[in-house]
Structure formats: structure tokens, C-alpha cells
Amino acid sequence: MLIADCGSSWTKILETVSGELEIISTRELVRREDLFFEVATGHSGKKRCKVYKNELIALAEGSLALVEEEDFSIVDVGGRDVKFVRFSGRKIKKLDWNLACGSSTGATIELLGSYYEVDFDGLPIKGKWINVTCGVFGMEKVLEHVSTGTPPEEAVAMFLHGMVRNVFDFSGRPEHLYLSGGFCENKCFLQTMEKYCNVTPLGRTVPLEGLKNDIR
Amino acid sequence: MTDNQEKFIGYFGFPRRSLLREVRDRYGAGLPLVDLDVYSGAPDSGLLPRATCRIIANIVDNAAELGGRLAAVVAAVGEDKCDRGRHAAWILEGMGLDVIESRFTEEEFEERPLVWSTGRGPLPGRVDRIMETIIDPSPPSDPPEKCEPTHGFWGVPPNDFRLLDLFPDTTHIFGWIRCVEAGRPADLELECMVDDGVPTVFFHQSFCAKQDLAHNLAERYGGIAVDCHREINDSILAKVEAFIKLS
């Protein structure tokens, strides 16, 4: 049985019986009309499933399945948006979903990384940052830095630092943060985030965990 | 929007009732009133920048569309509306319209009962009924039953009412809409009053100064601030839906 988190850039598909996880680009998902899921979340999954689940609800329920603490905060940094939930006594204390300003920064960092052929594992941790108002404004500043002599790796790291600051502020500046999404695999992002708070990466499958209860 | 030959009295915001009466007496008590704040499908007049409050753009676009059919416009330009309301009045005057400015001061504040804000029933209908009290404040013949709030909606009537469809019937209304029902549109204290502990969505139109209140109140009371420019999109609906379900 297939369940899926169909994000803006990447689609995570879990075969629930075998436990096999497949990650494909959402670009590829759009082309594959045969793919249909028992339960799905994410914009691109709406018309491809029996049961659709709101992304923020999937994140909240997924984190409760993975984290045993009474009080904790989790943030999911996606390609297009950032979602945040804070629990107190395992009940929702606060949640938010950044859709407008600050959006698309995740997708932008992928584009920048690909354009400048950046290896994020070897990226330097920069003390300086770029104000990443949104993906487009942030990218403009990276281009400006590179054109005035800053090495591309350094400029991209500064963009990443600006993005980390946005995520930290958006999450209410907690002492400890659980992280969900593709940035769990980005060493530079994690190390930069550690400058601000303790961070525990939970990987890319947190929303999938939140879908399991909906399998009928 | 309207019949070609018919004349109207336009208004926006919550003009003083006495002034509204006066203008109707002067221009024709039988002339229908039209709320220029509300989107009616009028084309973009091009008189405002694209990144501006959608409600103000509605006012200007509607007035440009109606043109000479507007016998007069009663314009809320005081603290009860906003600076952009004042600017819109200036633009409408520049279009040759007869604009009468209204500033709703404390002396004219009323103490009307909050029938619709604290009643049970579909939220879009209750917001509509509150906005109708600007013209006709007489007590309703079909008041809703009172209810304990499970959720709160704070703010102004959104440009796209589909947002309101998400809320349960037990949602109480706060913010400027509640001020309108109370007859106190410039009462900042009432505008910022919410029920602590009731999960509340703090809504403001994009590019509106009320975003300062919405964000501050959302932080203070653990709610969420939501803004929208023109039409509500799936992402905004999903965010509000999640908040309502999880709170």
C-alpha cells in the first residue's frame, strides 16, 4: 500500500508493507499519471489519493508519533514553505505556516546550489548572513555578492545562514528544535542552525508518519 | 453591478449614522446605498498601485465603474477607517465625485448588543448581517441563539468570504467587525479584545495597517495571523483548516 508526501520539489512515497521509501522529484510525479496513493498530503497529492490529509496536520501527527517529549517544537522546511508546530503537554500550543514572505527559499537554495555546483557537505559555515526576505530577493543578493567578488560557496552559505535565521525566528526562537524535511540532510544548514539552538533532525518522512493512522 | 440608469449613494467604512441620514435626506432618501468596500467585479481602474490593500482598491474601482451614477459618496476617513481611506476619498474627489467625509468620533460611540458576534450560525452570514447594521441598526427579527465560543475570528470582512466558510458555527467574531456591531468603529480597546483561551484566527488584508495588530495579538493569545490579498488560495485555506482542527 502506497502513501505519499507530495511536496513542491520532492515526493516521498512509502510502501507501508515493505517499508520501502522512494523519493522522486515532483516534476517526475506530475509526469507519472499512474501513481495513485491510499493516503497523501501535499499540494500535488490532492487528486492522486483516496484520502487527503492537510500538510500541517500530517506534520503535527507525524511528530507526535516520533517524539516522546511532552513539550517540544518542530519545524518543517520545505521547498516552498515553512511549517511550525509547538506542543505543550502533547497538545497544540501554537502553529504557523509561512506561505508568503520568506517562501520558496528552500527551492531557491536548491537552484543556487545546482547553478553554482555547490557541495553542501563541504560548505563553510558563515558568520555573516544575507537578509532572505524571500527566495527572489535573497537570490538577487547572492548574485550581487558573486558579481562583486565573493566566492559562490561563501555567498550561498550566507543565503543559507539568512534562511536559518528566518526559520529560527519563525519558530519562536526555541532552545531546542526538531527539524523535518530535506534540510535534515544539509550539513551546512544543520551546523548553522546549531549556532542558534539545539537541533534534532527527524528526516524527510515525518509527514508520512502522520498519514499512517488514515490507512483504512 | 447596477442598473445603467439608477443613481446611488456610495459609502465605505462605517460612516456616522447621523451623517449618512443627512446625506440621504439631501440627495434623495429613496436612493439605494451601495457599499463600495465590497468586490463587485469592477475592472481595475489603474488608479492605485497593484500592491495595495484590496479593500481600498475595491472602493476606487467600484467608484470608477459607477462614475456619474454615484450621486454622492460618504467616505469614512477617520481613525475608524485608515489613512488609505482618507487617500481614497481624495482620489474619488479628483474623479469629480461628490465626497462627504465622515470621522466617527468617541462622542458618537454606541453600546449596541453583540447579537451576531456572539451568536451561533454560519460565520459568513453573521458577518454580512453585522455589516448591514451600518445602514439599518434596528434589532433583528431572527436573532441567533447565544453560544459558547469554540473558535474566534478577528478582523475585517475579508475580500474573499470563502475563508469564513471554514469556521464552525460556534465561532465568535472579534476585531473591527465586532466594533461595527457595537457601533464603535474606532474603539481600539474593543477592537483588540479577544477571549483568552479561545483559539482565534487573526485576519487582515495584505498591505493593511491592521497587520500590526493581527501579528501582535496572535503572538499574545497563541492564535494565528492570516493575510490575503485578492482571492483566498488553497494554502491559506489549508493553514486555517489545520488551525481549526488541531486547536
DSSP assignment string, B213-241: HHHHHHHHHT-EEEEESSS--HHHHHHHH
Give the confidence band of A206 by pLDDT, cuts at 50, 70, 90.
very high
Q: Indicate which of A59, A95, A98, A213 best probes the interface with B, i.e. most B CBs within 10 Å of its own CB.
A: A95
Same structural domain, B82 and B183: no
State the Cα–Cα distance between residues A159 and A171, nearest whole angstrom.
18
In A25-64, the residues whose Cβ lies within 8 Å of chain B are 43, 54-57, 60
Same structural domain, B95 and B130: no
Of A68, A55, A132, give the one whose Cα is nearest residue A96.
Answer: A55
Does some domain include residue B111?
no
Please give the pLDDT value at position A135: 75
Boundaries of domain holding B33? 8-106
Over range A211-216, report the average pLDDT. Answer: 89
Q: Indicate which of B219, B235, B240 best probes the interface with A, i.e. most A CBs within 10 Å of its own CB.
A: B235
Torsions phi, psi for B226 (to 5 deg): -130, 135
Contact yes or no for A97 and B235 at CB 8 A: yes
Same structural domain, B22 and B95: yes
- ∠ CA(A96), CA(A55), CA(A90), 5° rounding? 60
Q: Which positions in chain B touch A96 (Cβ < 8 Å)?
A: 224, 239
Residue A101 has pLDDT above 70, yes or no: no
Contact yes or no for B238 and A60 at CB 8 A: no
Our CA-based measurement puts residue B197 at a distance from the nearest CA of chain A, in whole angstroms, of 11
DSSP-derived secondary structure letter, B146: B
Same structural domain, B242 and B135: yes
The H-or-E segment that residue A96 falls in is strand A91-98
Which of B80, B106, B132 finishes a domain? B106
Give the confidence band of A140 by pLDDT, cuts at 50, 70, 90.
confident
Does some domain include residue B3?
no
Residues whose CB falls within 8 Å of the CB of residue B64, separated by 6 or more in sequence, listed in order = B42, B45, B47, B95
Structural domains in chain B (count): 2
Over range B136-150, report the average pLDDT. Answer: 95
Of B5, B7, B95, give the one whose Cα is nearest residue B47.
Answer: B95
CA A188 to chain centroid: 14
Does some domain include residue B39?
yes
Q: Which of B238, B239, B247 sits opposite A92 (nearest CB)?
A: B247
Residue B2 has pLDDT above 60, yes or no: no
Contact yes or no for B222 and A93 at CB 8 A: yes
Contact yes or no for A95 and B243 at CB 8 A: yes
Please give the pLDDT value at position B160: 93
Does some domain include residue B114?
no
Over range A35-58, report the average pLDDT. Answer: 94
DSSP H helical ranges for chain B = 17-27, 54-66, 83-94, 123-132, 176-182, 188-191, 211-221, 234-246
* CB pairs A-B closer than 8 Å: 40
Looking at chain A, the number of H-run helices and the number of E-run strands are 7, 10
Contact yes or no for A99 and B246 at CB 8 A: no
Does some domain include residue B116?
no
Contact yes or no for A81 and B235 at CB 8 A: yes
- Around Cβ A68, how many Cβ atoms within 10 Å? 8
| HSE-up of residue A145 (Cα within 13 Å, Cβ side) | 22
Torsions phi, psi for A27 (to 5 deg): -60, -40
Same structural domain, B92 and B131: no
Does some domain include residue B64?
yes
Same structural domain, B25 and B81: yes
Does some domain include residue B143?
yes
Model confidence pLDDT, tens digit, residues B110-133: 999 999 999 999 999 999 999 999
DSSP H helical ranges for A171-196 = 187-193
Same structural domain, B19 and B80: yes
Q: Which of A57, A81, A100 sits opposite B242 (nearest CB)?
A: A57
Give the confidence band of A85 by pLDDT, cuts at 50, 70, 90.
very high
Q: Which positions in chain A touch B239 (Cβ < 8 Å)?
A: 56, 96-97, 99
Which of B81, B106, B131 finishes a domain? B106
> Which amino acid would we find at residue B169?
D
**Torsion sign over Cα B55, B56, B61, B67:** positive
Please give the pLDDT value at position B235: 79
Q: Are the beta carbons of A54 and B245 closer than 8 angstroms?
A: yes
Chain B residue with Cα closest to A171: B219
Over range A124-142, report the average pLDDT. Answer: 82
Same structural domain, B102 and B131: no
Please give the pLDDT value at position A102: 56
Give the confidence band of A103 by pLDDT, cuts at 50, 70, 90.
low
Does some domain include residue B194?
yes
Q: Are the beta carbons of A39 and A51 closer than 8 angstroms?
A: yes
CA A156 to chain centroid: 17
Least confident of A24-33, B55-64, B98-107: A24-33
Same structural domain, B43 and B158: no
Q: Which CATH number do you get for residue B47? A: 3.40.50.11890
Same structural domain, B242 and B155: yes
Residue B178 has pLDDT above 90, yes or no: yes
Contact yes or no for A60 and B242 at CB 8 A: yes
Same structural domain, B150 and B67: no
Which of B106, B136, B153 finishes a domain? B106
Q: Which of A57, A81, A100 sits opposite B246 (nearest CB)?
A: A57
Interface membership of A95 toward B (CB under 8 Å):
yes
Same structural domain, B129 and B208: yes
State the Cα–Cα distance between residues B72 and B65, nearest whole angstrom.
14
Over range A141-154, report the average pLDDT. Answer: 90
ipTM: 0.74
User: pTM for the full model?
Assistant: 0.82
Please give the pLDDT value at position B103: 96
